[in-house]
């Protein structure tokens, strides 16, 4: 009788361990998905920042061309 009780307890502990292991696995997968999402989002923000910087540089170039062009034509 005692052996049966011990086996039941071991079985319960194994089941609990399996449940916890699955919870950790699910949490890890969820975190990885979130990380990938954030990484993708960061890449998009970096791309947008680069586009803005390039646009600002183009505007500055056009302003210099316009300014010096006006200065030379007067």
- What tens digit of pLDDT does each residue of 15-53 get? 999 999 999 999 999 999 999 999 999 999 999 999 999
Domain membership of residue 40 (yes or no) is: yes
Give the integer Cα–Cα distance in Å for 26 and 70. 66
Tokens of 66: 């316009």
The span from the CA of 55 to the CA of 61, in Å, is 10
Number of structural domains found in the chain: 1
68 belongs to a structural domain: yes
Judge whether 9 lies within some domain: no
> Token pair for residue 36?
């990938």
More confident residue, 8 or 72: 8
Calculate the alpha carbon distances from 74 to 20, 27, 62, 69 in Å: 80, 70, 18, 9
Q: Determine the Cα–Cα distance for residues 51 and 12; give it in Å rounded to an integer.
A: 58
pTM, entire model: 0.51
In a domain, 4, yes or no: no
Domain containing 58 equals 24-74
């Amino acid at each position: 009788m005692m052996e049966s009780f011990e086996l039941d307890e071991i079985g319960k502990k194994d089941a609990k361990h399996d449940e916890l292991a699955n919870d950790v696995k699910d949490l890890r997968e969820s975190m990885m998905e979130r990380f990938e999402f954030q990484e993708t989002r960061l890449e998009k923000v970096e791309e947008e920042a680069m586009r803005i910087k390039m646009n600002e540089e183009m505007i500055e170039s056009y302003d210099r061309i316009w300014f010096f062009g006006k200065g030379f034509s007067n």
